[in-house]
């Protein structure tokens, strides 16, 4: 039995067609005895294509782009006045290429709620940080990257029952993570919380399509690794660790290919 196919149909499409997922939401910062603070709006897109892997399971080939927004005007930011440090920093938006995901053939947990089916994916992360504190003291929260990515995908049971390769769906996403490297928070205690919602769409807002660019409106053609994140993008952009503090404020933030 193809246990993974139902989730592939909800998240992407089982016939290999490209699908676009769009989301919008907000980012909050909190510290012990301080906050939470509404720091940013956050809006973006992910373009995905599902394919079989060598074991007969599934994998997703995706790339994504997203913008950090002024929380009031909802306009993309170029610089940001960090309320925790009093410093102005350059905003590095999200241009993750690739963001590929092995799914295998295991069933994804789901809950039936009335006529809705909710697939839920809780991702708990803990691995050596790409930004060791010794090399990036002003931009790394610690030598271990710890975060959670909590997804819920909502679809209609009747749509799943049709067997169609592409099932309409909406999703919610919550992320708890360290401070972003470009925020220049060093080892200050606290964290970020992302709270977003979205769904598979036929098109994204015109401003977002222009912001992302043509490349980020198409899924990758072939599998590649490793994936890009804000942490690896910041590391790659900084180059020489000794100059990380200077380079984090220089150049075009869209050219940085920073990730979430």
Over residues 177-236, the pLDDT tens digits come to 999 999 999 999 999 999 999 999 999 999 999 999 999 999 999 999 999 999 999 999
pLDDT of residue 107 exceeding 80, the answer is: yes
In a domain, 108, yes or no: yes
Q: Hey, what are 222's tokens?
A: 């072939």
> Helix, strand or coil for residue 233?
helix
Best CA proximity match to 110, nearest among 102, 119, 101: 119
pLDDT in the model for residue 260: 66
List pLDDT tens digits, range 18-75: 999 999 999 999 999 998 999 999 999 999 999 999 999 999 999 999 999 999 999 9
DSSP classification of residue 183: G
What's the pLDDT at 3?
73
pLDDT, position 99: 98
* pTM listed for this prediction: 0.91
Per-residue confidence (pLDDT) for residue 245, from 0 to 100: 42
In a domain, 258, yes or no: no
Would you state the pLDDT for residue 241? 53
Whether 246 has a pLDDT exceeding 70, the answer reads no
pLDDT at 2: 74
Q: What is the per-residue pLDDT across 128-154, written as a single tens digit (0 to 9) for each?
A: 999 999 999 999 999 999 999 999 999
pLDDT at 259 over 90: no
User: What pLDDT does 147 receive?
Assistant: 98
Q: Which domain holds residue 193?
A: 5-12+19-252
The C-alpha atoms of residue 177 and residue 194 are separated, in whole angstroms, by: 8
In this predicted structure, the answer to whether residue 247 has a pLDDT above a threshold of 60 is: no
Listed range (2-6, 141-145, 235-239, 245-249) with the worst mean pLDDT: 245-249
CA nearest neighbour of 183 among 96, 258, 251, 84: 84
In a domain, 54, yes or no: yes
CA distance 13 to 167: 7
In a domain? residue 115: yes
| Contact of 175 with 193, CB cutoff 8 Å | yes
What local confidence, expressed as pLDDT, does residue 1 receive?
54
Of 194, 259, 258, the C-alpha closest to 24 is 194
Task: Identify whether 202 is part of a domain.
Answer: yes
Residue 118: inside a domain? yes
Assess if residue 136 is contained within a domain: yes
Domain tally, the chain? 1
């Amino acid at each position: 039995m193809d246990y993974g196919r139902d989730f592939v149909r909800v998240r992407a499409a089982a016939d290999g067609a490209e699908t676009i997922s769009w989301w919008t939401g907000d980012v909050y910062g909190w510290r012990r005895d301080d906050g939470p603070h509404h720091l940013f709006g956050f809006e973006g897109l992910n373009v995905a294509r599902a394919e079989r892997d060598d074991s007969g399971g599934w994998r997703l080939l995706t790339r994504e782009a997203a913008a950090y927004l002024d929380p009031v005007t909802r306009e993309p930011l170029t610089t940001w006045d960090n309320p925790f440090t009093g410093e102005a920093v350059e905003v590095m938006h999200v241009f993750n290429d690739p963001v590929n995901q092995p799914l295998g053939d295991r069933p994804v947990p789901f809950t039936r709620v009335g006529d809705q089916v909710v697939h839920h994916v809780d991702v708990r992360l803990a691995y050596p940080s790409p930004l060791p504190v010794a090399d990036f003291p002003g931009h790394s929260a610690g030598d271990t990257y710890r975060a959670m990515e909590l997804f819920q995908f909502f679809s209609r049971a009747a749509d799943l029952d049709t067997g169609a390769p592409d099932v309409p769906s909406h999703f919610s996403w919550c992320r708890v993570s360290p401070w972003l490297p470009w925020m220049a928070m060093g080892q200050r205690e606290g964290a970020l919380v992302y709270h977003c919602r979205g769904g598979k769409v036929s098109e994204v807002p015109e401003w977002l399509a222009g912001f992302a660019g043509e490349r980020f409106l198409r899924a990758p053609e072939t599998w590649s690794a490793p994936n890009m994140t804000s942490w690896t993008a910041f590391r790659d952009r900084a180059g020489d660790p000794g100059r990380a503090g200077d380079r984090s404020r220089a150049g075009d933030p869209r050219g940085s290919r920073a990730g979430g």
